[in-house]
Structure 1
C-alpha cells in the first residue's frame, strides 16, 4: 500500500476525489461551443450554477457577447462579472428564486434564431427556479414540497409533481426560447442521469403527465391544496396546456448534455483508493430506497466479504428517509451510517457516507465517518446508538463523537457517496 494508511484519511481522500471529478471548472470548459452569430444568453439554476457560470466566463472569448442569470442556493454563490448570480432557498423555494425564474422566462423569450441559450442545470434547480403556475401560490408549493420530502418520495417522484406546477420545468424553458439554439450543460444529481429529472428538466421533454402527478400525491397520501388540485385536474382533463412532450418541435434545436455524474465521480474515487493499494468493488451509482434498508444490504455484503480485505465497497445514488413526527437531526447519509453501525455489535469496518454537495439533509455537514471503535466510543459517552437511530438523531450521534464530515458548500452535486473499507 502506498500513501496514507490511516482509514480516516483514506475515506476523506476518496470523497475529495469524487467531488473534484464533478467540479464545474474541471468538466465544463470542454463542452462549450463556439460563440453563435448572435448573442449568448446564460440561464440556469442549481447548487452548481454559480460555479458553472464562473467556468463559462473563464473560458468564453472576451470579445464575444455573453450575459445571463443563474440562481444557486444561499452561500453557494461565487464571483462573476458577466453573468448575474442570485442566491435563493433550497430545498423549499422562496420569493427570490421565483422572481429570478420569471425574469429568465422573459429573457429567453427575447432570443432569436441566431442566438444561443446556454442553460446551466444542476441538482437543486427545481426549488431554486420554482415560479408557480397561475392560481398556485409559492406558499402552497412550499407546503407540497415539504410534505413529499417528509413522506420519503424520491426526487423523480417529487419532480413529477413539480414539473406540472412550475413555469420553467418540464421543458418549458426550452419552449420559451422561441427557436434559438439551446445547449443545456447538466451536472446530474439523479439516479440514471435522465435530463428530464435533473432540476425537473427545464430544457428536456417531459414524458410525465398531470395525471401522473395526481397519482404520486395519492400514493404518498399527500393532500394537495385546493388550488393545486384544481390545476392538476384541469390539466389532466386537457383544459390547461401540459408540459411539452417528446417530439415537440420546440426541442428541434435543443441539446441536453450531462457533463458530470455519480458514475464518473465514483470511478475517480476508485482510482484514488486503488492508487493507495486498496482493491475496489464498485457496487453501483444507482443505489436508491430507504437509507436503513440500503444500510442492511451493505451490512450483508460486509459479512460476506469481510475476510477478503483490504477491500473498499463504493456506491452512489440517493437514498430517502421518511421523517417521523418528532424526528431529531440528521440526513440520509448519517442515517445510513448509523444504521450500518447498529447492524453489528462491533462494526468491523471503516466507512464514509456523504453528500457531494456538502449538505446532508438540513444540517451543516456533508455526512459522517464510521470506525471499528465507533460503538465503543459512543457507549463510553453514554450514547445509545439504537436509541439515536430510533429518534432519527444521527447528526447528534456523530457530532458527539467528532465524526461529522463538514466541507461547506462544494458548489457541485452528483448525489451521495458511500465507501466502506474492510480489513484496512
Structure 2
C-alpha cells in the first residue's frame, strides 16, 4: 500500500505516527489476500466465471487468481475505481480482466462494464459457477439504468443522493430500483448456475443486501420504499420513472425467489474486524483500547462533536475510559452539502474531513487529545486524501493563518482547512474498503 505522512519532526512516539499505525493495522486486516482462501468453493464441473465490482475489486480478483487451482478454468471481468487496480505481483497470470470506471458518480466506462458483466453470465448451466466479488463502491461502478432511465439521469440522481444527507441504506434502496443489475437482478440473470458471492462490508450492520446495492442478493425493499426516500429528500426523477416506481414495474427479486436457491454469500472482511485489529495494535503499545461501535451513522460534523465531548471528558478524568487510551469507531456518516452563496467556490472534502472539523470545534484545543479519521479505501469523498489529523494545537495553528472552523463547515471545505495545516492523511488507494475509521488518542 502506497502511503506517506505529512512532514513531521516529532519523536518516534509522536501521536500522529501512533494513530497512523492503528489505521494501517485496520486496513491490513481487511486486505483481500488475507481473507479469501477460507471462503473459496471448490472448482465446479463446468466453467467458473468471475464477476464483480467495488473499490477492492482489483485486489479481490488478484487474490482469487493467486488461490484458484492453476489447472482449473477461470475467467471473468471485475470493475474497480479509476486508480484502484493494484500492481500485479510478479509471476501471477492474469485470468480475470480488471477495468476501471468512475466513483461516486457513474460514467460510460461503468455502464460498459456492467453491460459486459451481464453478458458474461448469459447461457450458463447448472454445472457452472459464478464467483461474484463485491465491495464498497460497487453501486456507482456497476451501473445499468432501468428502462426509461438514461446514464445522465442516473448521474443526476446520484449527485442529489450524495448531497442530500441520505444514509447508505436509503441511497442503495433507490439505486436498486433504478437498475437492471442491482438488487439481486445480476444473480437472477446467472440462473441456473450457482452463485457464490465474496464481499467486503462497508456498511453499518454488514447487511449484504446493501453492500454495493446487493447485485446478487434478494431484496426485501420495495418500489414504495424507494419513492418514499426520493420524496423525503426532495430528489427529482423523470416522470416515467416515477410512474414505473408507483406501479411497481421496477420491483426487485424478493427473498424466497427460486433463482437464489443454492447461492451463498460470505463476508470476508468487516469493519468490526478492522477495529479489533487496531485495538490489538494499541494494546500492544500499552494503551487501553475501547471500540464504541462499527455502525455509527449521522451527520459527520455532529458525530465529531459527540466524540469530541467524550474525549474531553476522558482527558479530564470524568469518563469510564481510562487514559492513556484510544477510542475507536467506524460506520458511515453523511455530509449534507450546504447551499453556496453566489460566487462562493464549492468546498472540498468528505465525511472524514468534516468529522474532523466538528471534532476540532468540540475539543476547543483540549490538551492531551489527538485524532485521526480516514476512509479505509484511502479516498475521502473525491479528494486525494484519506482523511485528516486533529491535535491539541489545531485551532491555534489555524487561527494563525486566519482560518476558522465555522467558515469551513459552512462551505463543507474540510480539505482546504486541513491542507493549509499540513494535516491531511494521504495514503493512496488501499485496495480494500471497510468504511470509516476513527481513532481518538487520549493521554
TM over 0.5: yes
Query: Per-residue deviation at 1:4?
Result: 5.0
5 Å matches for 1:347-358?
347-348=366-367, 349-358=369-378
Identify which of 122, 139, 156 aligns with 2:169: 156
2:226 corresponds in structure 1 to: 213
Aligned counterpart for 1:242 among listed residues 226, 251, 257: 251
Normalising by structure 1, report the TM-score: 0.96
Q: 1:191 aligns with which of 199, 204, 215?
A: 204
Equivalent in the alignment of 1:182: 195
Contact residue 219 and residue 255 of structure 2 kept, 8 A:
yes
Who is 2:241 aligned against?
228
Per the alignment, residue 393 of structure 1 pairs with 413
Counterpart CA distance in 2 for 1:339 and 1:136 is 38
Q: Which runs of 5+ in 2 are unaligned?
A: 1-10, 341-345
Measured in 2, the distance between the counterparts of 1:188 and 1:421 equals 26
Superposed, 1:22-421 pairs within 5 Å as 22-78=30-86, 79=88, 81-235=94-248, 240=249, 242-306=251-315, 307=317, 308-326=322-340, 327-348=346-367, 349-421=369-441
Classify the secondary structure of the residue corresponding to 1:247. Answer: coil
Give the conservation status (yes or no) of the 8 Å contact 1:4–1:276.
Answer: no
Partner of 1:157, secondary structure, is helix
Q: For each residue in 1:10-38, what CA deviation from the matched residue of structure 2 results, as whole angstroms up to 9, or x when unmatched?
A: 10000000001000111112211111111
Question: Runs of 5+ in structure 1 lacking a partner?
Answer: none
Name the CA distance, whole Å, in 2 between partners of 1:251 and 1:287.
31
TM-score, reference length from structure 2: 0.92
Alpha-carbon distance in 1 for matches of 2:120, 2:208: 22
Aligned partners of 1:395 and 1:196: how far apart in 2? 32
Any conservation in 1 of the 2:202–2:433 contact (CA below 8 Å)? yes
**How far does residue 241 in structure 1 lie from its aligned partner after superposition?**
5.6
Residues 180-233 of structure 1 deviation map (CA, whole Å, 9 limit, x = unaligned): 111000001100101100000011110001111000000111121223213212
> Given that residues 330 and 395 in structure 1 are in contact (C-alpha distance below 8 angstroms), is that contact kept between their aligned partners in structure 2?
yes
Within 2, Cα distance between the matches of 1:385 and 1:322? 17
Q: Is residue 51–residue 411 contact of structure 1 (8 Å, CA) maintained in 2?
A: yes
- Determine the structure 1 residue equivalent to 2:4: none
User: What is the aligned partner in structure 2 of residue 13 from structure 1?
Assistant: 21
Q: Which residue of 1 is the match for residue 7 of structure 2? A: none
CA distance in 1, matches of 2:198, 2:135: 9
CA RMSD of aligned residues (A): 1.3
Q: Contact 1:347/1:375 (CA < 8 Å) preserved in 2? A: no
What are the Cα deviations for residues 42-84 of structure 1, in whole angstroms up to 9, with x where unaligned? Answer: 0000000111000000111111000000000011123461111
Q: Is the 8 A contact 1:180 1:253 kept in 2?
A: no
Residue 389 (structure 1) shift = 2.1
Q: Distance in 2 between matches of 1:144 and 1:211?
A: 17
- Counterpart Cα distance in 2 of 1:167 and 1:77: 26
Which whole-Å CA distance do the structure 1 matches of 2:158 and 2:366 have between them? Answer: 36
The equivalent residue for 1:422 is: 442
